[in-house]
Chain A
Amino acid sequence: MQNVSANRLMHKIKPGKSGASSLRSTSFYLALMAGVCLLLADIEIISPSPWLELKAMGQGLITPTIPDYQELLSGLANTLSFALQGMALAVLAGFLLSLLYRHWWVRAFCAFVRAIHELFWALIFIQCFGLSPLTGLLAIGLPYAGTLAKIYGELYEEASPHPRAHLLHSRSLSAFLYTTLPLAWPALRHYTRYRFECALRSTVVLGFVGLPTLGFYLETSLSEGLYSEAAGLLYALLFLIASQRWWLRKTLLPLYLLTAVVFLPPTASINWQIISQFFTEDIVPQPLRTDNPIGPWLVFLWQQQLWPGLSNTLVLSQIALFFTALFALLVFPFCSPLFFGRRIGEVAGQVIRRSGDGLLIIARTLPEYLLAFVALLLWGPSMLPAIVALALHNGAIVAHLTARFGEQIVLRDDACKGLNRYFYEVLPRIFRQFMAILFYRWEVIIRESAILGILGIATLGFYIDSAFEEFRFDRAALLILASALLNMLVDTLARSLRRNLHLNTTADIR
């Protein structure tokens, strides 16, 4: 009798279907894909003297200078103004959209606007409004509105439905305002705050295409090899982001926003003719405008740009995803109390953990784009700088979140130490959550892989940027559309993978 039931149990938990083994096989395929991609990728070091350049950068880092305080201040002020106004627009639009998030067309619209990177939006709006404040505002505001609407919508769904269900006419807007909204409010605030930090980073990156933010001055001094000046700007940026918790206050926000609008009014010399020409003529495929067959144009574009761009984007992102995972698994113990807690002495543990935390904060504060730009100066244009930049930035985020998740684990007093503890006690417990976090970053890594093309790596961004430079907006539009579709596809795939692997799908880990 006992045997029979044991047998049944065995049948229920088929070895091939159990959660742990599907996690294992997923990790195996991730590594396998990365291996194949590495064979296809171009990771040469082209630069003639990478060590000399590295030395110069190192020297710059320890001798920061600020030659022009006015330039620094205006860069900082512009960065803040763009980020504040962009976020204000995004929060407003995102909130309104989130109220309608149950409609499929709203979800589709949000997915589309956030699938296009803010740098691509900037390249589009520059064609319409020039290098104006309005361009920066829209480039941040539009994709961020899509993201916020999605997260807000998900947070409403996670709020307890009971208080609302107890009311009369519980489907009304008023009932939402009094129950669901306040219940979701703390999470909403938390996420919006995090998103503001992202907006600061994005604004800096917009400087690399010409908007007068810190990124603009950083790009100038980095390309001229003025590493001490670049270091000064870099430290200013780090300080700005790290000090957020002291200056980003709810009560001061209206004042900040008002100042931002007065300082940098979101205006542009709007020429409707140019704008309408851009949307009705320039982005229409050239053969359609000239009454030629569109087939050859599409074939040419596919063979010369779309296919290489898409495949390079995928190759880069898969390698970067793998190294992100590897880097995160390597470094998360250094900021986890499970490894550097009381056991090895209060002070020493604290010191190691604090410095681990500090380094990770720096790595995740610096945008991938900036890291890739610096790595490119070192090693020349290949995939290597992009891989390093993506793995550092995303790995730091994954490691931080993994370590924070690890804080919930309580080990027994006599648990083993060192490597044994890592492999036998901790890794098995955190691996599921770790994979969930990693899959959340997957979409981000793909978006960024495409964008890093602007720096000269042959991903989609490279072809998009070239198309803009050649004023072939029809090609740019098609390529941007392709990148958006790719992102939406990966987003869907990652979500179904998370569901199949029974991974956490809540929003709080992003």
Chain B
Amino acid sequence: MNAELNLQSSLPGQKARGPELAAGQHTVFLLNNAQLSYQGRAVLNNVSLKITAGERVALVGKSGVGKSTLLATLRRQLPDALAWCPQQTGLVPMLSVYHNIYMGGLQRHNSLYNLLNLIKPLSQPLCEVTELAALLQLDKHVFDRVEKLSGGQCQRVAIGRALYQQQNVFLGDEPVSAVDAYQAEQLLQLIVERHETLVLALHDVELALGTCDRIIGLKDGAIVLDAPSSTLKVEQLAALYR
């Protein structure tokens, strides 16, 4: 109760100050009093949000509060220019790990090249994907069909696909929910290294504080917290889940 009160009272000031950023950074995402709905039902009201290049943002809040809806809205602002790692991995079960990761880079080649690669992996992308798979600890499974993998392995393939999209901006919806804590940290580190701007929905608040420099808390259909992680503590965030 105490923490919640604390959180509520600190809100206006936090919002006005905003995260500390170097001047001249360009805006990546902008929402102005937006009404976000999921399947026709209003989920988030009056959302105003500005995310600039270089920020690492974590979205936290109970499941069903609207994190995925907010991410989907952000994704629509840059449909073909961001790396996207969805919660439901959406892999193609009958294709290999190699092809599922390669899929992230389809837009860099013409259809014929992609078709040939589908029939027989071509050497250059194979090299790149194998390297990436090693970082994801999937090097033993490059040619395994995805339907044979475990849930955690599938999630790593989905991360691989998003990394191979090779964009500056990364949107992740619970990208590491199915792997153990140690791996989760490593994977997030990898994602951070390779992207300038990040927006991640994370249910693990410790992970959120450790990885991101800005925390956006959602509760009861609104943004109730928007502050630099350096000013927040785990207990404060716990209030969002009550």
The interface of chain A, by Cβ under 8 A from chain B, is: 160, 162-163, 165-169, 172-175, 177-179, 182-183, 185-186
Contacts and interface: CB of A to CB of B under 8 A. Distances in A.
Contacts of A169: 80, 106-107
Given A166-B161, A167-B104, A175-B106, 16 more contacts: A163-B91, A163-B92, A166-B84, A168-B79, A172-B106, A173-B111, A175-B103, A177-B111, A177-B114, A177-B115, A178-B99, A178-B102, A178-B106, A179-B92, A179-B103, A182-B95
Contacts of B155: none
Contact of B111 (A162, A168, A174): A174
13 contacts: A162-B88, A163-B92, A167-B107, A168-B79, A168-B167, A169-B106, A172-B111, A174-B109, A174-B114, A175-B103, A177-B118, A178-B99, A179-B103
Contacts of A163: 90-92, 103
B160 to A, nearest CB: 13
A185 B118 CA distance: 14
B92 A168 contact: no
B86 A166 contact: yes
Contact of A186 (B80, B88, B94, B99): B94
A107 B90 CA distance: 30
A160 B88 CA distance: 12
B165 interface: yes
Interface string B164-176: 0101000000000
Given A163-B91, A178-B118, A168 B109 contact: no
Nearest to A166: B90
A178 B90 CA distance: 12
Contact of A168 (B90, B91, B110, B165): B165
Interface of B: 79-81, 84, 86, 88, 90-92, 94-95, 99, 102-104, 106-107, 109-111, 114-115, 118, 161, 165, 167
Contacts of A177: 111, 114-115, 118
A182 B161 CA distance: 17
A451 B184 CA distance: 66
A174 B94 contact: no
A174 B92 CA distance: 14
B92 A182 contact: yes
Given A162-B88, A174-B111, A178-B99, A168 B94 contact: no
A168 B107 contact: yes
A251 B132 CA distance: 33
Contacts, number: 63
Contact of A167 (B88, B103, B167): B103
B71 to A, nearest CB: 12
A166 B84 CA distance: 7
Most buried by B among A174, A177, A179: A174
A51 to B, nearest CB: 57
A421 B106 CA distance: 56
Contacts of B92: 163, 178-179, 182-183
A183 B80 contact: no
A327 B149 CA distance: 47
B84 A182 contact: no
A160 B93 CA distance: 11
Given A162-B88, A177-B114, A168 B95 contact: no
A167 B91 contact: no
B88 A178 contact: no
B95 A167 contact: no
Q: Which 4 A-B pairs have the closest CB atoms?
A: A162-B90, A174-B114, A174-B106, A163-B90
Nearest to A164: B90
Contacts of A168: 79-81, 84, 104, 106-107, 165, 167
A366 B90 CA distance: 44
A178 B94 contact: no
A304 to B, nearest CB: 55
A174 B114 CA distance: 6
Given A182-B94, A183-B94, A172 B107 contact: yes
Contacts of B167: 168
B111 to A, nearest CB: 5
A178 B95 contact: yes
A173 to B, nearest CB: 5
Contacts of B103: 163, 167, 175, 178-179
B50 to A, nearest CB: 24
A497 B57 CA distance: 53
A162 B92 CA distance: 9
Contacts of A179: 92, 103
Contacts of B106: 167-169, 172, 174-175, 178
A185 B94 contact: yes
Contacts of A183: 92, 94
Contacts of B81: 168
A162 B94 CA distance: 15
A160 B94 CA distance: 13
Nearest to A160: B90
B21 to A, nearest CB: 27
A312 to B, nearest CB: 49
Contacts of B161: 166
A163 B90 CA distance: 4
A186 B145 CA distance: 15
Contacts of A165: 90
A162 to B, nearest CB: 4
A292 B118 CA distance: 61
Contacts of B95: 178, 182
